Amino acid sequence: MPAPLENLSLRAQLRVDRLPLRLGALFVGLTGFGISIAMLIRAGLGAMPWDVLQVALAERTGLTVGTFIIGVSLLVLAAWIPLRQHPGIGTLANAVWVGIAADLALAVLHAPDAPAARMALLLSGIVLNAVSSALYIGAQLGPGPRDGLMTGVNRRWGLPIGRVRLGVEVTVIALGWLLGGPIGVGTVLYAVGIGPLVQRVLPFLTIPVRRGPQPLPGAGPGVTLPTGPQ
């Protein structure tokens, strides 16, 4: 049976079991996520939905794609306030590190010339994105800014997450397209394939939350802390 995904508060995340392992999985996942963004952009066959807008903004302003990934993430986090969403360790790390990782990868990756190589880069990027998403979600240290926006709308107004996600991403793609963002077969393949791929991989990469008292680091054997939602 797959391990359940917990909704841990920030306080609970700081006390959760195997925190170093979770932090390692989180940052490997976020790094891979940023690299996968660069792979889809360099493939030149269409970017991920949010990146259609972010690439368009970068091209129009001369700033880096990573700068807009970070900037849009912070704007989305501001939208959490009326939704009464609470960020976690992973939320804040996601908002900053994915953009940095994407810029670093874009600096070393180059667009291949052969159509077959472009398609291979695209498909590899989608698979890497799915594995990376499962890693940072499975670390159970808080959702990313965009995922939290959708779950927050669902919790506040009861709208189905699928419809919220569809509405948000269609809006983002439309804005990006109007600004000249890269829409193509890659955008469609990502939108159709990423959900099933993450669902398939996530059970293998989720780090379960152990119930019961956990030892306080550096304390004696009789000093423990509780884990789980607070």
Q: Indicate whether 22 belongs to any domain.
A: yes
Any domain includes 213: no
Decide if 214 is inside a domain: no
DSSP-assigned letters across all residues of the chain: -PPPPP---HHHHHH-TTHHHHHHHHHHHHHHHHHHHHHHHHHTS---HHHHHHHHHHHHHS--HHHHHHHHHHHHHHHHHHHT----HHHHHHHHHHHHHHHHHHHH----SSHHHHHHHHHHHHHHHHHHHHHHHHTTS---HHHHHHHHHHHHH---HHHHHHHHHHHHHHHHHHTT---SHHHHHHHHHHHHHHHHHHHHH--PPPPS-EEPTTS-TT-EE--S--
Answer yes or no: are the C-beta atoms of 126 and 193 closer than 8 Å.
yes
Q: Please tell me which residue, 155 or 57, carries the higher pLDDT value.
A: 57
Q: What confidence tens digit (pLDDT) does each residue in 13-64 have?
A: 889 999 999 999 999 999 999 999 999 999 999 999 999 999 999 999 999 9
Residue 228's pLDDT band (boundaries 50, 70, 90)? very low
Mean pLDDT, rounded, for 146-156: 82
Does the pLDDT at position 220 exceed 60?
no
Residue 107 within a domain: yes
pLDDT of residue 57: 97
Reported as a pLDDT band with limits 50, 70 and 90, residue 212 is low
Q: Record the pTM.
A: 0.86
Mean pLDDT score of the chain, rounded to an integer? Answer: 88
Q: Residue for token digits 């802390």?
A: 225
Range of the domain at 57: 16-207
220 domain-assigned: no
Structural domains of the chain, count: 1
What's the rounded mean pLDDT across residues 204-220? 67
CB 109 within 8 A of CB 36: no
Q: How confident is the model at residue 2 (pLDDT cuts 50, 70, 90)?
A: low
pLDDT category at 226 given cuts 50, 70, 90 is: very low
Tokens coding 134: 């499962």
Which of 6-15, 187-196, 213-222 is predicted with the least confidence, judged by mean pLDDT? Answer: 213-222
pLDDT band at 216, cuts 50/70/90? very low
Q: Tell whether 218 is covered by a domain.
A: no
Residue 2 lies in a domain: no
Answer whether residue 230 is part of any domain. Answer: no
pLDDT tens per residue, range 119-147 = 999 999 999 999 999 999 899 998 889 88
